[in-house]
Amino acid sequence: MTVITKQDVNPTAHLTPEDVEQIGVELDAIRQDVLDARGEKDAAYIRKVVDVQRKLELGSRAVLLGSALPPLWVLGTLGLSVAKILENMEIGHNVMHGQWDWMRDPKIHSTTWEWDNASTAEGWKHSHNEVHHTYTNIVGKDNDLGYGIMRIDEDQRWHPFHLGQPLWNFINACFFEYGIAAYDLELGKNLSIPKEKRSEKFKSDLAKTLRKIRQQATKDYVVHPALGLPFGATLPILTANFTANLVRNLWSHSVIMCGHFPEGVETFERKSIPEDETRGQWYLRQMLGSANISGSKAMHLMTGNLSHQIEHHLFPDLPSSRYAEIAPRVEALFDKYELNYHEAPLPKQVLSAWHRVVRLSLPNGFLATTTPKNLPAQAKLLWAMSTKGPKVRRAAQARLVQLEKRQKAEKAAV
């Protein structure tokens, strides 16, 4: 996508400033309705999910003691994967957002929660709740746009490094929890600073994260395999835990990619966001910058209701269990103001997000201007762009974009 202010037709051009503020008023009303209704049922829901998750995890780990038998390995691994996903998505992510703080239960509270993940709750709350949710999809401000290792927007400048991004993305998906931890620490940026100049905060955060990683790894790869020793299940437990972590990582990576990466989700230019962005303007940015996944109740639960990414970004602190209920009202508001409510089934969104990752691994316009006939010439061009320095790259890039425009115009004329 291109930041909305540089598109041929800005998707918000038809809205007057009054419309934008009215959208804010109407969304605030939806929010208030949930706040008014929130109560015993919601509290019972999250306690139930926590209860089920804990029993499922314990049960699965018990089954894995017998995982020398392959069917039990499969059953235990499946259960543990589901338990880990629930813990991260429907419970951890949402509790840390403060969605359940209103219950005033210190056991289910954003300030006390720690999750089964390599990144610390503290680091995650900063990079996710503060940075990503505030500066959603602003190129150069929201690091979730490619996590600092990928080009996810036409307006992020292409570099030969990006040719590898489909691979980076896949590796990141497999080890997503460590990716998140590194990302929360801004590891790349901080490691490029000479050791003696790194901030105290970074050093202490790094120490905390390493301790967390050690504890997590000790649990899954030392303690539980050791408990399996008397049952001859050490190795199967090790592989089961590794698999469960992998499944959880792949799943959460996919869900999160679907939230903001699918084609058609809008991004924003830093300088187009006013200093004093109004509530209506902020809401509008969240509306256009997120995508939903359609599907069954079970799918919503397993995504931590991030399948309702649009609703979540509008109201990050409302209980996740309420998103499904308000979704029709939010969608009606999109229709009323002629905005695109971006929703599709999981496979479609995942594919679309991957398409974007692959497309943008190449220079802008490259894929569109490549035909079987000009393939050799294009390959040569890409080689030149990758090896010959920034000047050549810029010139070639400009030509590509122009060519793409011309082709588009010709097509339109026909």
Gap between the Cα atoms of 227 and 229, Å rounded: 5
141 binds another protein (CB under 8 A): no
Judged by CB under 8 A, which of 116, 177, 184, 311 binds another protein? 116
Give whichever of 43 and 273 is closer to another protein, judged by the CB atom: 43
286 token code pair: 């969240």
The helix/strand/coil state of 393 is: helix
341 sits near another protein (criterion: CB under 8 A): no
Which part of the chain contacts another protein (CB under 8 A), choosing from 6-14, 40-48, 171-179, 384-392? Answer: 40-48
Binding mask 45-84 for another protein (x = CB under 8 A): ------x--xx--x--------------------------
Q: Is 15 helix (H, G, I), strand (E, B) or coil?
A: coil
Among the listed ranges 75-83, 113-121, 256-264, 406-414, the one in contact with another protein (CB under 8 A) is 113-121
345: helix, strand or coil: strand
Can you tell me which of 32, 111, 272, 278 binds another protein, judged by CB under 8 A? 111
Which of 215, 272, 278, 402 forms a contact with another protein (CB under 8 A)? 215
- Judged by CB under 8 A, the number of residues near another protein is 33
CB 271 within 8 A of CB 251: no
C-alpha 268/C-alpha 191 separation (Å) is 28
204 near another protein (CB under 8 A):
no
Nearest CA to 341 among 316, 309, 301, 317? Answer: 309
13, 16, 18, 40: which one contacts another protein (CB under 8 A)?
A: 40
Residues 6 or more apart whose Cβ sits within 8 Å of residue 5: 268, 269, 272
Query: Residues 321, 46: contact at Cβ < 8 Å?
Result: yes
Nearest to 81 by CA among 298, 216, 241: 241
Contact status: 325 vs another protein (CB under 8 A): no
Judged by CB under 8 A, the chain residues 220 through 259 that form the site for another protein are 223-224, 227
Closer residue to another protein, CB minimum distance, 18 or 276:
276
- Which CB sits closer to another protein, 107 or 271? 107
- 392 near another protein (CB under 8 A): no
Binds another protein by CB under 8 A, chosen from 2, 11, 59, 109: 109
- The sign one gets for the Cα dihedral 130, 125, 25, 309 is positive
The sign of the torsion formed by the CA atoms of 256, 343, 368, 376 equals positive
Q: Which region, judged by CB under 8 A, interacts with another protein, from 41-49, 140-148, 305-313, 373-381?
A: 41-49
For residue 143, count other CB atoms closer than 10 A to its CB: 17
Q: Is 134 in the site for another protein (CB under 8 A)?
A: no
Distance between CA atoms of 178 and 184, rounded to whole angstroms?
10
CB closer to another protein out of 175 and 221: 221
Binding mask 156-185 for another protein (x = CB under 8 A): ------------------------------
Asked whether position 35 contacts another protein by CB under 8 A, the answer is no
What is the four-CA torsion angle of 329, 332, 334, 340, rounded to 10 degrees? 110
Find out whether 293 and 144 touch, Cβ atoms under 8 Å: no
Site for another protein in 82-101 (CB under 8 A): 98, 101
Nearest distance, CB of residue 112 and another protein, angstroms = 7
Smallest gap, in angstroms, from Cβ of residue 100 to another protein?
9
| Amino acid making up residue 37 | A
- Kindly write down the DSSP assignment for every residue of 95-126, as one continuous string: HHTTTTGGG--TTS-TTT---SSSS-HHHHII
- Taking the C-alpha atoms of residue 359 and residue 181, their distance in angstroms, rounded to an integer, is 27
> Cβ of residue 296: shortest distance to another protein, in angstroms?
27
Given the complex with another protein, which of 21 and 317 has the nearer CB atom?
Answer: 317
Which 8-state DSSP code applies to residue 294? E
Residue 390 engages another protein in binding (rule: CB under 8 A): no
Whose CA is closest to 411, among 372, 368, 374? Answer: 368
Q: Which is nearer to another protein, 135 or 147 (CB)?
A: 135
The reply on whether position 128 binds another protein by CB under 8 A is no
Q: Which residues bind another protein (CB under 8 A)?
A: 38-44, 51, 54-55, 58, 98, 101-107, 109, 111-112, 114-116, 212, 215-216, 218-219, 223-224, 227
